[in-house]
Each structure stands twice: as C-alpha cells, then as structure tokens.
Structure 1
Amino acid sequence: MTTPPTAAQLAGASWRTSTYSGPQNECVEVADFEGGSWVGVRDTKDRTRPGLTVPGPAWSALVNALNTGTL
C-alpha cells in the first residue's frame, strides 16, 4: 500500500491495545495495514474519532526510540 489507509479502512481495522493496558481507557490502539506498511493509531477514550496513520517504518522507529530511551 503506497497510500495511507482510507477512513473506511480505519473504521474496519482490527485494532489492538498493549497487554499492559488497564481498564481505564487511557491508552492507544494500533492497527497494521498491508503487513505493516502503514500503522493506524487512535485513542481508546473515543474510538469513534478517526485514527492517525503513519508509515510503518516511522512507527517502528518511534517504538524503538521509546523502548531504548533515546527519544
């Protein structure tokens, strides 16, 4: 997928949260598109709002930077 997912694709995505997330709805959900070419991100406080999309490699770099403390 060379273009970001559409709003319809975001709405129909298989969203997931971290296993570390609690029941307070204070986390983000992510969804992969086309094998990770794009990643959707949304807030669990209001799942009716549209998610953001970022290129998969950029998402991986962000997660890596957070995990290694380099951000």
Structure 2
Amino acid sequence: MKPYIERASAAGLEWVKSSYSGNNGNCVEVATLPGGGRALRDSKNLGGPALTMSIEGFDTFVQSVVDGDLGQR
C-alpha cells in the first residue's frame, strides 16, 4: 500500500469526520480505502495529500491518540 494519496479530493473516497468535531475547520477526516485500509486528511486542505494505512495501523494510531502517546512538538 502506498503511504499517501497525493490529491485526496481526486481519490473518489467518501470522507467522514467525527461527530465530536465542531465547525471550526480543524478536523481530521477518515475514509475507507478499497481493500479495507484507511486514509486520513486535513479538513482545511481537502485537495491536499492524505495518509494511508492498514486497518491495524489505523487502530494503533487511534489508540495512541486516546492514550496521549503521540507527544507535543
């Protein structure tokens, strides 16, 4: 699997944002890829790149966010 999509808006995917997201435009959107992987994009840059990952990688990423393991930079 390629680790990114260069133009997320041209990928023909159905993008979803969390129901917890507000309308401030600072959201991450998720799409299901053909074959079951996931793609993530910045809602402020709909035509920009998107990260892609396996389902297992996505689950690990989400758990890391929940656990606060990603750190601040």
Q: Quick check: TM above 0.5?
A: yes
Other-structure match for 2:24: 24
3-state secondary structure, aligned to 2:58: helix
- Note the C-alpha offset of 1:56: 1.5
Other-structure match for 1:62: 61
With a CA cutoff of 8 Å and minimum separation of 6, indicate the structure with the bigger relative contact order. Answer: 2
Residues 6 and 47 of structure 1: is their aligned pair in 2 closer, same or farther, counting only changes over 3 Å? Answer: closer
Figure out how many residues of one structure are paired with residues of the other and give that number: 67
Other-structure match for 2:51: 52
Other-structure match for 2:39: 40
Other-structure match for 1:14: 14
Gaps of 5+ in 2: none
3-state secondary structure, aligned to 1:34: coil
What is the aligned-residue identity percentage?
31
3-state secondary structure, aligned to 2:61: helix
Counterpart CA distance in 1 for 2:24 and 2:5 is: 29
Please tell me the residue identity of whatever aligns with 1:51.
A
Gaps of 5+ in 1: none
Question: What is the CA deviation profile of residues 45-71 of structure 1, one whole-angstrom value per residue up to 9, with x for unaligned ones?
Answer: 11011211112211101112322x262
TM-score of the superposed pair, with normalisation by structure 1: 0.74
